Amino acid sequence: MYRYAVIIIVIALAAAGCATEEQATQLQTNLSFLQNDLYSFKQETNEKLAQLSKDNENVGKQVVSVYAAVESRDEKIKSIMGKLDELEYQLRTYWNETKAMLSTQKKPDATPVASGPAAEPGSQADNAKYESAYKDAFDSYQKGAYDEAIIKFTKFTEQYGGTPLIPNAFYWIGESYMNLKNYEKAIVSFQEVIDKYPKSEKAPRALLSQAEAFNQTKDKKSSITLLKRIIELYPKSEEAIIAERKLRNLNI
């Protein structure tokens, strides 16, 4: 500030015609100092502005990164919730099937009394035979031997086409293919249940699993269509509840 005051005084003297040569030299020197100060100030200001701009950009990137992390976390939570729903249902399905087979094994040897026409001779033995074949195939599935389960369930559908466990067999063929990540063949197996046995207990589950198979093949349109179809055809089913949750997670 002192330097600037001197400059102003010298300029005033010069204007009044009183400035000496020495004063003029001092004025020039001070002007040079002033220019250097202004240049330094400008450089310092530009550096600070550049740093502020860089900091602002970094903060922006961090904000975007945080938002992306939050969205990714939400998607993972939704995916985990959906898988937990399916796992819970599948465990319950395994338990029900196992209970049914255990119940079959505990049946007395005597032929039960039934209303209506009498059963044909040998029908009880045939029942035991196909139930045993089904149990063998289901055991392979539970052990994770999916290729083996497919072979056994397929053979079961060919040998015992008129039995009530056929839709179950096609369903577990589809689930075996799902575990093998062969989604195209899984879709075909589930379609067998959907088309031929729409009133079976496995029909809504086949639709739900088929929707997931389409989702895995990136055909989200078909997947969404099937989820809506479950709600429409089986509104009171547990599968409809899962389908509604999946649609909500997709913001539909």
Determine the pLDDT at residue 120: 39
Determine the pLDDT at residue 111: 35
Determine the pLDDT at residue 156: 96
The parts of the chain modelled with pLDDT lower than 70 are: 1-21, 23-24, 26-28, 30-34, 56, 59-126
Determine the pLDDT at residue 17: 55
> pLDDT tens, 115-174?
333 333 345 656 778 899 999 999 999 999 999 999 999 999 999 988 999 999 999 999
Determine the pLDDT at residue 251: 80
Is this prediction's pTM over 0.85? no
Determine the pLDDT at residue 44: 79
The Cα–Cα gap between 244 and 228 comes to 8
Determine the pLDDT at residue 78: 43
Determine the pLDDT at residue 103: 56
Determine the pLDDT at residue 48: 80
Determine the pLDDT at residue 197: 95
Domain 82-101+131-249 sits in CATH at: 1.25.40.10
Determine the pLDDT at residue 97: 67
Q: What residue spans define the domains of the chain? A: 2-66, 82-101+131-249
